[in-house]
């Protein structure tokens, strides 16, 4: 048996390194997210925030280190003491533990809101069509879009599309939900409705990692703020510690610029 489980985080990122074309953009990331915790990941453009989220979901492979969610390696299995990438089908199965919501919604344009939500559960879980439909209607109701089940993405506002994307991410009942600048592509008047949905998820105890430039929102919902710069975690702590009393020059510069 390996170490005690009591102190184990829900998400454990250990020593993750990632390069693109010889340029290292993640330089040894260690991050633990506890069950029910809301982590806001902040940092300048190009600091590696999206890449880090994508490694947690295995949308990017890692060059070194590992990511586990609830004890399972995401995208990899341990064989003879080494990590080997899983086969596509197994990657998809294991990835269901980690939901992700992107800046640009990424809905399937040729599917209705309801079909966008049922697609993955039908493919990856043993659900009947009617069970999947029930699940999707419940989730649409939760994001305030029960009446939009049969609408296509082009018939929805950006805020509504993003709420469908959140419902879609929830449909696989992930253990953690990742948000990559979920409101950055929205007109200002549509930001609030999406933040409201994320706030509700936080209140329900959903484990969240949120990349956002909405500093006020981060301060309000996050249990912990993690500041990333040039591929390293420079500083982390409570919102007050990091945003009001930053210790590092890099964090101070960033906070001064965005506040």
Interacting residues toward ligand ADP by CB under 6 A: 20, 25, 43, 45-51
Q: What is the closest distance, in whole angstroms, from the C-beta atom of residue 229 to ligand ADP in the complex?
A: 9
Burial class (CB in 10 A: 0-12, 13-18, 19+), 249: exposed
Q: Binding residues for Mg ion, how many (CB under 5 A)?
A: 2
Do residues 227 and 235 make contact, with C-beta atoms less than 8 angstroms apart?
yes
Do residues 94 and 66 make contact, with C-beta atoms less than 8 angstroms apart?
no
Q: What is the closest distance, in whole angstroms, from the C-beta atom of residue 8 to Mg ion in the complex?
A: 28
Segment interacting with Mg ion, rule: CB under 5 A, options 41-49, 72-80, 86-94, 133-141: 41-49
Of the pair 47, 118, the CB lying nearest Mg ion is at 47
CA distance 87 to 108: 24
Q: What is the closest distance, in whole angstroms, from the C-beta atom of residue 179 to Mg ion in the complex?
A: 11
212 binds Mg ion, rule: CB under 5 A: no
Angle, CA of 207, 249 and 235, to the nearest 5°: 25
Q: Looking at 47, 50, 68, 97, which residue binds Mg ion (CB under 5 A)?
A: 50
Of the pair 115, 235, the CB lying nearest ligand ADP is at 235
CA distance 246 to 243: 6
Of the pair 193, 214, the CB lying nearest ligand ADP is at 214
Of the pair 45, 128, the CB lying nearest ligand ADP is at 45
Which of 39-68 are b and which e, b meaning 16 or more Cβ less than 10 Å from the residue's Cβ? Answer: bbbbbbeebbbbbbbbbbbbbbebeebbbb
Binding site for Mg ion (CB under 5 A): 49-50
């Amino acid at each position: 048996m390996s170490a005690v489980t009591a102190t184990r985080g829900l998400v454990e990122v250990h020593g993750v390194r990632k390069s693109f074309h010889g340029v290292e953009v993640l330089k040894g990331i260690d991050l633990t997210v506890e069950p029910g915790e809301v982590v806001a990941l902040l940092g300048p453009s190009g600091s590696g925030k999206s890449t880090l989220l994508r490694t947690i979901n295995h949308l990017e492979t890692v060059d070194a280190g590992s990511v586990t969610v609830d004890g399972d390696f995401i995208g990899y299995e341990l064989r003879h003491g080494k990590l080997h990438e899983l086969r596509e089908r197994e990657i998809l199965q294991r990835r269901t533990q980690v939901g992700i919501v992107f800046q640009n919604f990424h809905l399937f344009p040729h599917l209705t809101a309801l079909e966008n939500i049922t697609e993955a559960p039908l493919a990856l879980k043993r659900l009947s069509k009617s069970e999947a439909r029930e699940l999707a209607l419940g989730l649409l109701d939760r994001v305030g879009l029960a009446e939009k089940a049969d609408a296509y993405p082009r018939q929805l506002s950006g805020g509504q599309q993003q709420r469908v994307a959140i419902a879609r991410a929830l449909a696989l009942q992930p253990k953690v939900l990742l948000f990559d600048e979920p409101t950055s592509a929205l007109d200002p008047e549509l930001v609030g409705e999406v933040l409201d949905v994320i706030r509700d998820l936080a209140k329900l105890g959903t484990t969240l990692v949120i990349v956002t430039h909405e500093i006020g929102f981060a301060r309000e919902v996050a249990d912990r703020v993690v500041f990333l710069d040039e591929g390293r975690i420079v500083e982390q702590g409570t919102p007050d510690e990091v945003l009001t009393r930053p210790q590092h020059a890099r964090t101070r510069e960033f906070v001064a610029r965005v506040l």
